[in-house]
Copies of this chain bind each other. A is one copy, B any other.
Amino acid sequence: MAEQNIDEPKAAGAAAEWIDGETKVLEAPGDHGAELRLWLRLLTCSTLVETEVRRRLREEFDSTLPRFDLMAQLERASDGMVLGEVSKRMMVSPGNITVLVERLAESGHISRTTSPTDRRVQIIALTPFGRTEFEKMAAAHAGWIADLFGGLSTKDGAVLLDELAKLKRSIVGSLGKAGRPA
């Protein structure tokens, strides 16, 4: 493991590391080591937080992150939201939403109606029960995140937020270039 002060980030995409080893560094073709290290570290942070959030949602609320996210989308839409819109906002496939909605409707957290003006469209909304439950979860969630990120100074937080904005522009720019449908 390279000389990093914090210990090994090995998760998904971890092919990164082999550039670190003295063995491979010699033959590095375009030397993408810096980017790989960055990606690996980003992924590690993200995975650590996500794993912890999942764990606590399960243990403290017997729920899951996807369900929480779906309810979060609905929280601000008091009139409900079209299924396709939820899918886009959550960046997941429509089929996925269908399944989640089924479960959340069964458990009484959300309601689902067919649009009166377009019978293809499904409108989903939090039920009062769902809203109450979500508010409890959201408050707890905010606390967890605050704890996990709390070791960062205000300044570091601001810098990180800014650098991540730049990174996002880089990513989106790169994705846009290759003629993938927007």
A: residues with CB less than 8 A from B are: 1-6, 8-19, 21, 23, 29-30, 32, 34-39, 41-53, 65-66, 68-69, 72-73, 75-76, 84, 87-94, 137-139, 141-143, 145-152, 154, 156-157, 159-161, 163-176, 181-182
Task: Determine whether the beta carbon of A93 is less than 8 Å from that of B173.
Answer: no
Task: Determine whether the beta carbon of A171 is less than 8 Å from that of B12.
Answer: no
Residue of chain B at shortest CB distance from A152: B170
Cα–Cα distance between A24 and B57 once the two chains are bound (Å): 22
Contact of A163 among B35, B39, B160, B182 (CB under 8 A): B160
Task: Determine whether the beta carbon of A15 is less than 8 Å from that of B142.
Answer: yes
Shortest CB-to-CB span from A70 to chain B, Å, is 10
